[in-house]
Amino acid sequence: MRLVGQLSNPSAALGVVFEALSDQPINAIARPEPQREGVRLGNGVVQRAVVKALASAQHPLTVQEAQAAVGDLLGYPVSKGSINCCLSTGALGDEPRFERVARGCYRLRHDARRT
């Protein structure tokens, strides 16, 4: 019971802090917009954008070209590492989506265009 009494009867110093606070609800206080830098994208967002960029390209794309195209599609920059990881892992496995045609240069596999 002692704890409850302490919480319901704040000290004089804590009472001063409470008095200084606004009566406005916390939800109504304007918060600055979060920075786009450092925001993690949802699952598959980068991969879908890479597929779309490669599908619309007339030739195989380098990682840098794919990065620029994905940035244009999403409306904000995506790291080169994310694009490179997506392309390199997508070119591996039993059913790869991408085909590596040269070092750092990829295209969408023809059989992946239907999926």
pTM for the whole structure: 0.62
Q: Which domain holds residue 79?
A: 45-112
Helix (H) or strand (E) holding 4: helix 2-8
**CATH number of the domain to which 73 belongs:** 1.10.10.10
pLDDT for position 29: 47
Given a contact cutoff of 8 angstroms between Cβ atoms, the answer to whether 98 and 63 are in contact is no
pLDDT for position 55: 93
Tens digits of residue pLDDT in 88-111: 999 998 999 999 999 999 999 877
- Whether residue 16 lies inside any domain: the answer is no
- Whether residue 34 lies inside any domain: the answer is no
Tens digits of residue pLDDT in 19-30: 766 666 555 445
- Whether residue 51 lies inside any domain: the answer is yes
Tens digits of residue pLDDT in 73-88: 998 889 999 999 999 9
Distance separating alpha carbons of residues 80 and 20, to the nearest angstrom? 48
Q: Pick the closest to residue 104 from 65, 68, 74, 76 (CA basis).
A: 65
Query: Can you read off the two tokens belonging to residue 69?
Result: 């195209």
Q: Is the dihedral of CA 10, 14, 15, 21 positive or negative?
A: negative
Q: How many domains does the chain have?
A: 1
- Whether residue 8 lies inside any domain: the answer is no
pLDDT for position 106: 95
- Whether residue 15 lies inside any domain: the answer is no
- Whether residue 13 lies inside any domain: the answer is no
